[in-house]
Amino acid sequence: MPLEQVEDRRRSSFADRFAKGLTDPTCPTPGGLNGPRGKGALKRYNVYRNNVTVSLIDALVAIYPAVQRITGAEFFRAMARFHVRASPPASPLLFEYGRDFPDFIESYEYAQKMPWLADVARIERAWLDAYHAADAPPLAGAAMMQVPADRLGDIIFRIHPATRIVRSAYPAVAIFAMNRADAPVTSLKSNAAEDALVTRPDMEVEVRLLPPGNATFLASLIDSATLAEAASKALTETSSFDLSASIAGMIEAGVFTTVQPGD
Amino acid sequence: MDAVMQKQDVRRDRRLRLPTLPVGGLAGTSFKPQHFEAILRDGPQRGFFEVHAENYMGAGGPPHRSLERIRSEHPLSLHGVCMSIGGPQPLDGEHLARFCALVERYEPALISEHLAWSTHQSTFFNDLLPLPYTEATLDHVCSHIDQVQDALRQQLLLENPSTYVAFEDSTMSETDFIRAIVRRTGCALLLDINNVLVSATNHGYPALDYLANFPFDKVREIHLAGHAEQSDDEGERLLIDSHDGPVAAAVWKLYEIVVARCGAIPTLVEWDSNIPEWRILRAEAGAAQLILDRYPARNVTVEYAA
């Protein structure tokens, strides 16, 4: 064994040496490994390299099925391989993996012709977070009727743990919906900006399109604004914002858990 | 990270007391979410289910809803895949706390982890990686198992690994290493017979020699699974622990030998990719059950010796 390698083995743990090449194909097979009767370790070590990379690519496929349907498996797996090697997971919980994958897609050279792809990925990431979010009963429609009319403006909503908003400058909700299911893909002629609302009122995750103004409205409520403050922000942005339709739609989608009187 | 389970998410309502269901002498299968409806259609059946603990570490949602249902009618085995017990660095305390919270919530009949590592420094590699068998690694592994058992206040079953490489640094055999772990920590064992065959083939020794040196009196669960075949640098057979097909004939043969010697130890058929229809997986467990039923069930009380 070369002196350098002997030195290396004295200073580092077996795991340091073994881990180095798992996500870096340019690293040589670590020293000190073999097969029986002096057999080589090249293909043997490559089993681990392959397990690590393929299983992590598969994890991204499982989180981002619509993105894969859009790009095709070959494109997706090549893109995912770059990401897995650059940003392997830091948590043993694979459903937490790939949070930075949408940003990676946005900067990925070969995906530049699909500028909406990253937002579709953001909806899929939000879908999985909603799926695993804590259980909570959604606010019943009747709850609003118990609030005295003169106190309505002051109320504050508590947001359901599954609720997520994804804002897009592209028709990301329509593209997501078309590719997340198995139904045939039709051509989409739209350059509308779309905001997605992701909720899970019970056990089914739901993704729906938010009407204009609604994303700003809900984002304010999530930041603990009162109903009046959030409505005023939404109206400033979108003069046609319909407050009662918006609240009714959000209650139906399971956005809130409780309503509290303000101070 | 509010989709990850927190301690308060798992405080179970005391009214939802789970039945204590014995697992002795039973065959079971991995529980796969895609089989949930088909399993419910079959109704409660003789057998048990095993889940990978990490898949149930979310805060809520469908995974917990279906596992609660499964657990209300069947014994459960909680199988950890990511504790990284075999690595040189300290265990992830948060991960251990989540693991304990699952044990508290679902009261599994069997709790197991691997003689392997999967996290190093800050990277999780999502694979069961091998370690050299030396006095130094033995110290690490034993202190990690002590830590897990102290936190669980229960006995852990440690699974023998399938490996593709050996370390020049190793100073003892895998079975000697495992015997030393059992002696020092009081843990019990999960004997994966497919792993025995995979490692024996890959390292050029007879599987029966390995089994002859394995501390059978500590085995509380058996795993069976399918493997795939590749070749090594010399063009000879290299078996891959792929869990993607039926249990191989050679594994069934070893299984019969083990059960004839040790009695009917709870046995699980694992199937983790290319997952077939429920009836096919159920039939694999049925084949194991037929063998188990020919032998007396052995006491499988999980003990805690601290």
Q: Model ipTM?
A: 0.93
Under 8 Å between Cβ of B8 and B284: no
d(CA A129, CA A207): 12
In this structure, what token pair is assigned to residue A57? Answer: 């690519």
Facing A203 at nearest CB: one of B65, B95, B238:
B65
d(CA B168, CA B203): 13
Query: Helix or strand or coil: residue B300?
Result: coil
d(CA B157, CA B218): 9
Facing B165 at nearest CB: one of A45, A90, A161:
A45
- Contact state of B61 with A131 under an 8 Å Cβ cutoff: yes
Which B-chain residues 215-254 have CB contacts (< 8 A) with chain A? Answer: 230-234, 236, 238, 240
Residues found in chain A: 263
Alpha helices in chain B (DSSP H): 36-42, 62-73, 93-106, 135-152, 174-185, 193-203, 207-212, 249-262, 278-292
**pLDDT tens digits, B169-195:** 999 999 999 999 999 999 999 999 999
Does residue B121 sit at the A interface (CB-CB below 8 Å)?
A: yes
Under 8 Å between Cβ of B177 and B139: no
Does residue B8 sit at the A interface (CB-CB below 8 Å)?
A: no
Which B-chain residues 77-106 have CB contacts (< 8 A) with chain A? Answer: 82, 84, 87-89, 92, 95
Kind plus residue range of the DSSP H or E element containing A167: strand A164-167
Under 8 Å between Cβ of A209 and A196: yes
Kind plus residue range of the DSSP H or E element containing A156: strand A156-159
Facing B167 at nearest CB: one of A33, A94, A132:
A33
- Contact state of A35 with B233 under an 8 Å Cβ cutoff: yes
Quick one: pLDDT band at residue B304, thresholds 50, 70, 90?
Answer: very low
DSSP annotation of B192 reads E
**pLDDT tens digits, A74-111:** 999 999 999 999 999 999 999 999 999 999 999 999 99
Residue B2, pLDDT score:
72
d(CA A147, CA A166): 30
**pLDDT tens digits, A219-256:** 999 999 999 999 999 999 999 999 999 999 999 999 99
Out of A36-40, A126-130, A132-136, B295-299, least confident range = B295-299
Residue A3 has pLDDT above 70, yes or no: no
Distance of CA A77 to the CA centre of its chain: 17
Residue A262 burial (CB count, 10 A)? 15
Residue B297, pLDDT score:
79
Chain A residue with minimal CA distance to B9? A134
> How many beta-carbon pairs below 8 A join chains A and B?
163
Token pair 């043969």 is at which residue?
B253
Does residue B69 sit at the A interface (CB-CB below 8 Å)?
A: no
Residue B303, pLDDT score:
52
Q: Which residue has the higher pLDDT, B297 or A120?
A: A120
Residue B209, pLDDT score:
97
* Cβ burial B212-242 (10 Å sphere, 16+ → b, else e): eebebebbbbbbbbbbeeeebbeeeebbbbb
Cβ-Cβ contacts under 8 Å, A98 against chain B: none
- Contact state of B124 with A91 under an 8 Å Cβ cutoff: yes
Side-chain half-sphere CA neighbours of A121 within 13 A: 24
| Residues in contact with B10: Cβ distance below 8 Å, sequence separation at least 6, in sequence order | B101, B102, B104, B105
**pLDDT tens digits, B9-28:** 555 554 457 888 889 999 99
- Contact state of B169 with A14 under an 8 Å Cβ cutoff: yes
Q: Å from A150 to nearest chain B CA?
A: 35
Does residue B129 sit at the A interface (CB-CB below 8 Å)?
A: yes
- % of chain B with per-residue pLDDT over 90: 88
- % of chain B with per-residue pLDDT over 70: 93
Residue A187, pLDDT score:
81
Residue A166 burial (CB count, 10 A)? 25
Cβ-Cβ contacts under 8 Å, B2 against chain A: 129, 133-134, 161
| Residues in contact with B215: Cβ distance below 8 Å, sequence separation at least 6, in sequence order | B175, B178, B179, B182, B189
* Cβ burial A136-160 (10 Å sphere, 16+ → b, else e): bebbeeeebeebeeeebeebbbebb
- Contact state of A133 with B2 under an 8 Å Cβ cutoff: yes
Residue A142 has pLDDT above 70, yes or no: yes
Q: Considering chain B, what is the average pLDDT of its residues? A: 93
Cβ-Cβ contacts under 8 Å, B16 against chain A: none
d(CA B43, CA A150): 54
Estimate the crossing angle of helix B174-185 against helix B135-152, to 10 degrees.
40
**pLDDT tens digits, B16-67:** 578 888 899 999 999 999 999 999 999 888 999 999 999 999 999 999 999 9
- Contact state of A133 with B61 under an 8 Å Cβ cutoff: yes
DSSP annotation of B111 reads E
Under 8 Å between Cβ of B265 and B221: yes
Distance of CA A191 to the CA centre of its chain: 23
Kind plus residue range of the DSSP H or E element containing A220: helix A214-222
Under 8 Å between Cβ of B84 and B54: no
Does residue B60 sit at the A interface (CB-CB below 8 Å)?
A: yes
List Cα–Cα distances, B3 to A118, A254, B94, in angstroms. 21, 17, 15
Residue A144, pLDDT score:
86
* Phi, psi (deg, nearest 5) at residue B125: -95, -5
Q: Using CB atoms within 10 A of its CB, is residue B121 exposed (0-12), middle (13-18) or buried (19+)?
A: exposed
The whole-number average pLDDT for the span B217-231 is 96
- Contact state of A44 with B232 under an 8 Å Cβ cutoff: yes
d(CA B162, CA B22): 29
Residue A22 burial (CB count, 10 A)? 24
d(CA A215, CA A229): 14
Strand-by-strand arrangement of the A164-167 sheet: A164-167, A195-199, A206-210
